[in-house]
Amino acid sequence: MIRFESVSKRFLDGDVERTVLRRYSFEVSDGTTVSLVGPSGSGKTTVLNLIAGLDVADSGDVLVELNGVTLSLKGMSSAARARYRRQSIGYIFQFFNLIPTLTVAENVRLPLELTGRRDLEAEALSRLDALGLAGREDSFPEQLSGGEQQRVAIARALAHRPAIILADEPTGNLDAENAGRVVDLLCEQAAAAGATLVLATHSEFVAGHAHQRLDLQR
């Protein structure tokens, strides 16, 4: 379960304070797929960052229940939040954030090294085939197209079987065929793992795959 309780988030834009989320509340049950839809600047990435504990609410709280334990992301130390993120979150960033000095296979293995789950390595690397990246294991990110990098980011996010998968515009750089394949794969993997999937997207096609829809306004 992920629950936003009256979450407010403001950013300083020069001297001007801009409120992105104002007492925003919602709840997502375990194992569901949720789309997060809204115009550019409405706060989709901000919501994902709050769920990941990369950012903290100014007021209100984000609660995440994992294995029967409810975590208050606001109340946790930053070290505890980092641990939560490493173990429980798979994040496909809007701009991928692949490590440029690591190959495709090394990027995908990274979460397994961080969590000590070497046993998942074969499964994680075989996912590259399903994502149409067979034979690209030893390439470096800069040798790949934007769409290929995005699919590596997906393989990396799923590697450690996280309870929560956050996907920020996961099909933004893909053609229609690959977009369909990627959304199906994300939904399938999430369902198979019983994971909760939150998809931030501008695409009605992607949003239509989700069980639940959250609309953000500017």
Ligand X SMILES: Nc1ncnc2c1ncn2[C@@H]1O[C@H](COP(=O)(O)OP(=O)(O)OP(=O)(O)O)[C@@H](O)[C@H]1O
Where does this chain bind ligand X (CB under 6 A)? Answer: 11, 13, 18, 20, 38, 40-46, 94
- Which residues in the 41-80 window bind Mg ion by CB under 5 A? 44-45
Q: Which is nearer to Mg ion, 4 or 93 (CB)?
A: 93
Query: Which of ligand X, Mg ion, none sits in contact with 43, Cβ below 5 to 8 A by type?
Result: ligand X
Query: Which of Mg ion, ligand X, none sits in contact with 170, Cβ below 5 to 8 A by type?
Result: none
Q: Which is nearer to ligand X, 155 or 214 (CB)?
A: 214
Q: Which is nearer to Mg ion, 44 or 81 (CB)?
A: 44
Q: Which is nearer to ligand X, 43 or 170 (CB)?
A: 43
Least separation in angstroms between residue 24's CB and ligand X is 12
- Which residues in the 173-212 window bind Mg ion by CB under 5 A? none
Amino acid (one-letter) located at 123: E
Query: Which of Mg ion, ligand X, none sits in contact with 11, Cβ below 5 to 8 A by type?
Result: ligand X
CB under 5 A: which stretch of 40-48, 56-64, 116-124, 208-216 binds Mg ion?
Answer: 40-48
3-state secondary structure the chain: CEEEEEEEEEEEECCEEEEEEEEEEEEECCCCEEEEECCCCCCHHHHHHHHHCCCCCCEEEEEEEECCEEEECCCCCHHHHHHHHHHHEEEEECCECCCCCCCHHHHHHHHHHHHCCHHHHHHHHHHHHHCCCCCCCCCCHHHCCHHHHHHHHHHHHHCCCCCEEEEECCCCCCCHHHHHHHHHHHHHHHHHHCCEEEEEECCHHHHCCCCEEEECCC
Q: Which is nearer to Mg ion, 87 or 94 (CB)?
A: 94
Least separation in angstroms between residue 171's CB and ligand X is 13
Please count the other Cβ atoms lying within 10 Å of the Cβ belonging to residue 19: 12
Least separation in angstroms between residue 147's CB and ligand X is 18
Q: Which residues bind Mg ion (CB under 5 A)?
A: 44-45
